[in-house]
Amino acid sequence: MIRLRDLCGDYSGLDNPEITGLTLDSRAIAPGMLFCAVSGALSDGHDFIQAAIESGASAVICERACELSVPCVVDPQLRHSLSALAGRFYADPSHDLRLVGVTGTNGKSTLCDLLQQAHHALGHRSAAMGTLGVYGARDYGYSGNTTADPIQIQADLAALRTDAVTDVAMEVSSHGLAQGRAEALRFDVGVFTNLSRDHLDYHGDMDRYALAKQHLFVGLRPRHWVLNAQTPEAALLAPLADAATLYGDGGSVRAQHIQARPSGVAFELVTEADRGTVESQLLGDFNVDNLLACAAVLLAQGVAFATVCKTLAGLRPVRGRMQVISQSPLVLVDYAHTPDGLAAALRGARAHCHGQLWVVFGAGGDRDTGKRPLMGQAADQLADRIVLTSDNPRSEDPELIMDDIEAAIHRPVHRQTQRTLAIEWAIRQMAPQDTLLIAGKGHEREQIIGHQVMHHDDAEVARRALDGLDA
């Protein structure tokens, strides 16, 4: 616990209560807590100040002056200073951890999971934070966002420190960067995977989206930057770094002689000084990029090259990321929900396909509509058989979403708004030598239709359908 004046240096009031916790949610207030009132796009925390006080808040920090019955601190830039405030409360846990921040449109969850596995294999107590939750030594829970709110991030890092975790890989989303959620974190390594169309409903255009991603580097200044050499951003960012490693074609950490095998992908890992063979359990060429990024991080952290090769070979596939549900027919579940992500997943699936390549996918409702025809175009160019379905239509008509996707497809498709039925139909139609990619949800276990959140698990549905073939 900490006194209000020690937590908020600008506070000069007479009362100096002890602060037992921080929260942005008035419903989570317990006696002695500091309520942080931030205005947002959907709600304004100032509207809930009185409710927080009635629930026992001992003080309030907010963006504009208020007459209150408890001590009040005013910070007009609270959204961006909240990370530092929470850091002070939790004694800056990121300073005691080797924290790797991963940003980019695609690959964040996979890379964080691979890094967590790799550090564990190296004998370190490790964890990952992001879309899949906070997990490692144990499951610490799920925030609901790729990057949690600033208070939750610091609380999670403090819990990891208490559990003697030393290495953490954290997804840092464009939303989180734009909103200052990671502002006071100390990153050992920052990774930029790629940039393609997504979240334009929030950022407005690609330039602002790119600037949000770049803030991890030019704003938060990790010790070492790991950049995808195949992106334009690498050429812009690398000269600004104190230390940088580029991976992929044209980089100093790259792959040669890539071979798709039934059990995964094999390649030669090459650096300026060394080369060695990696036989990975992961499927798809795009996972080679994820493995290269993982290798670049480990090398930047001082791991020996031979140890890196051995470690990469032992990394397991990530749940919901090119997850193999069955081998014959080959059925894969993947989170790909952007045009580039879908294209990469389809190319990866094609490398392991000996018949026709099927894809089942949709697009989210109440989100960037411009990516829908681009996803249709990717499927049209890279798949043999296309099944359109729903993927969290929210308030939109699923049929109209499918219309937007189908506008870019120049051949017949099968349409089925009920995702379970779409998956079952595709599995019944495929031949044993065919491959099916079920794209869009990956690890997710829900479908959002209107205001209803219903249980749905692509992997679970696929397994049931496959069992039905044998019945």
Q: For position 282, what pLDDT does the model report?
A: 96
Q: According to the annotation, is 146 in a ligand binding site?
A: yes
204-237: b or e for each residue (b if 16 or more CB lie within 10 Å)?
A: eeeeebbebbbbbbeebebebbbbbbebebbeeb
Closest to 322 measured CA to CA, from 146, 110, 129, 138 = 110
Whether pLDDT at 205 is above 90: no
Cβ atoms within 10 Å, residue 196:
18
371 annotated as ligand-binding: no
β 330-334/323-327 pair status: antiparallel
Any binding-site annotation on 105? yes
User: pLDDT value at position 266?
Assistant: 96
Dihedral (Cα; 455, 457, 461, 463), 10-degree rounding? -140
Residue 350 C-alpha from the chain's centroid? 25
Whether 251 and 229 have beta carbons less than 8 Å apart is answered as yes
Q: Domain 323-470 is of which CATH architecture?
A: Alpha-Beta Complex (3.90)
317: DSSP letter: P
Question: Of all residues in the chain, what percent carry a pLDDT higher than 70?
Answer: 94
Q: Name the class of domain 2-76.
A: alpha beta
Average pLDDT over residues 210-232: 84
Find out whether 108 is annotated in a ligand binding site. yes
> What is the average per-residue pLDDT within 104-115?
92
**Is the peptide bond between 71 and the residue preceding it cis, with omega within 30 degrees of 0?**
no
Residues contacting 28, CB < 8 A, separation 6+: none
Quote the pLDDT of residue 471. Answer: 61
How far apart are the C-alpha atoms of 267 and 260, rounded to whole Å?
Answer: 9
pLDDT in the model for residue 148:
83
Cα 293 from Cα 191, distance rounded (Å) = 8
Which phi and psi angles does 406 have, rounded to 5°?
Answer: -70, -20
| The model's pTM | 0.88
Bridging pattern class, strands 126-130 and 133-136? antiparallel
The overall average pLDDT reported for the chain is 92
Q: Identify whether the C-beta of residue 153 lies closer than 8 Å to the C-beta of residue 147.
A: yes
Which residues, listed in sequence order, are joined to residue 359 by a DSSP beta bridge? 386, 437
> DSSP readout, 390-455?
-S--BTS-HHHHHHHHHTT--S--EE-SSHHHHHHHHHHH--TT-EEEEES-TT--EEEETTEEEE
Residue 106 annotated as part of some ligand binding site:
yes
pLDDT score of 432 more than 60: yes
Q: Tell me: the pLDDT tens digits for 250-260?
A: 999 999 999 99
Is 194 marked as a binding-site residue?
Answer: no
Q: What is the C-alpha end-to-end distance of the chain, expressed in Å? A: 60
The verdict on whether residue 394 carries a ligand-binding annotation is yes
Q: Across 66-75, 170-179, 216-225, which has the greatest mean pLDDT?
A: 66-75
The Cα–Cα gap between 288 and 188 comes to: 23
Question: Is 412 within any annotated ligand binding site?
Answer: no
Domains 93-313 and 323-470 share a fold: no
Identify the band that residue 14 occupies on the pLDDT scale cut at 50, 70 and 90. Answer: confident
CATH of domain 93-313: 3.40.1190.10
In Å, what is the CA distance from 30 to each residue of 4, 95, 195, 348?
Answer: 16, 28, 41, 50
Confidence of residue 200 (pLDDT cuts 50, 70, 90): very low
Residue 417 assigned ligand-binding role: no
Consult the annotation and say whether 110 binds a ligand: yes
Q: Is the pLDDT of residue 138 over 80?
A: no
The pLDDT assigned to 203 comes to 40
* DSSP 3-state of 255: strand
Displacement of CA 255 from its chain's centroid (Å): 24
The Cα 469–Cα 344 span in angstroms is 29
Angle made by CA atoms 249, 255, 258, in degrees to the nearest 5: 115
> Is 233 annotated as belonging to a binding site?
no
pLDDT tens digits along 301-345:
999 999 999 999 999 999 999 999 999 999 999 999 999 999 999
pLDDT at 347: 95
User: Is 145 annotated in some ligand binding site?
Assistant: yes
Q: How far is CA 405 from the centre of its chain?
A: 24
* pLDDT over 80 (residue 167): yes
pLDDT tens digits for 351-382? 999 999 999 999 999 999 999 999 999 999 99
Q: Is 181 annotated as a binding residue?
A: yes
**Amino acid sitting at position 457:** D
Using the predicted structure, report yes or no on whether residue 204 has a pLDDT greater than 80. no
Q: What is the model's pLDDT at position 367?
A: 93
What residues have CB less than 8 Å from 279, skipping those under 6 apart?
A: 261, 264, 266, 313
147 is in an annotated binding site: yes
Q: Report DSSP state, residue 94.
A: G
pLDDT at position 420 over 50: yes
| Residue 83 marked ligand-binding | no
Question: Tens digit of pLDDT for each residue in 62-106?
Answer: 999 989 999 999 999 999 999 999 999 999 999 999 999 999 888
SS3 content of the chain, % helix, strand, coil (to 5): 35, 25, 40
- For the chain, state the CA radius of gyration: 24
Q: Say if strands 21-23 and 33-37 run parallel, antiparallel, or are unpaired.
A: parallel
Question: What is the domain partition of the chain in residue ranges?
Answer: 2-76, 93-313, 323-470
DSSP notation for 72-90: EEE-TTHHHHHHHHHHHHT
- Tell me the mean pLDDT in the region 426-437: 97
CB 186 within 8 A of CB 94: yes
384 assigned binding-site residue: no
pLDDT, residue 342, reads: 97
More confident residue, 295 or 196: 295
